Amino acid sequence: MADACLFCRIARKEIPATLVAETDECVAFRDINPEAPVHILVIPRDHIPSASAVKDAAVVGKMTQLAAELAKREGIAESGYRLVMNTNADAGQTVFHLHMHLLGGRRMAWPPG
Ligand code: 5GP
Ligand code: ZN
């Protein structure tokens, strides 16, 4: 439900977060529990519960473009970064408002755990 959704509330600035970028379509803020030196969440302003519920493909394109721009700004574009969308239980999705994790600033293992 968008009214009570944590990330909708962050996008509406009802709940504080360290915002790093805002566009007409997206908001980006630092993850409260960073798993890497750079850990930013990029979300659409619209409430979309997960990747499974994406109807407008352009939304994901905008999120990816913003993440790439932020990677440059954070100085990790060359060293490398990971974009992740955890989807549903097995992937560990805990917040059901679509979000892209931008992770970087350290070497990451593959495959993920
Ligand atoms: P998921 O596990 O759903 O892929 O990712 C949710 C992410 O949201 C987690 O990395 C978690 O640390 C982050 N998170 C949860 N609550 C908050 C919050 O209130 N503020 C911020 N900035 N990040 C949050
Ligand atoms: Zn939401």
Q: What is the DSSP string of 7-55?
A: HHHHHTTSS---EEEE-SSEEEEE-SS-SSSEEEEEEESS---SGGG--
Residue-wise pLDDT for 7-60, tens only, equals: 999 999 999 999 999 999 999 999 999 999 999 999 999 999 999 999 999 999
| Active site annotation includes 99 | yes
Distance CA 26, CA 16 (A): 16
Residue 113 domain flag: no
Distance CA 94, CA 1 (A): 14
CATH code (residue 70): 3.30.428.10
Quote the pLDDT of residue 113. Answer: 87
The verdict on the CB of residue 31 being under 6 Å from ligand 1 is yes
Residue of 19, 41, 82 to mutate, ligand 1, most atoms within 8 A of C-beta: 41
Distance CA 40, CA 34 (A): 8
Residue-wise pLDDT for 83-93, tens only, equals: 999 999 999 99
Ligand 1, closest atom to CA 91?
4
**Domain ranges, residue 79:** 6-104
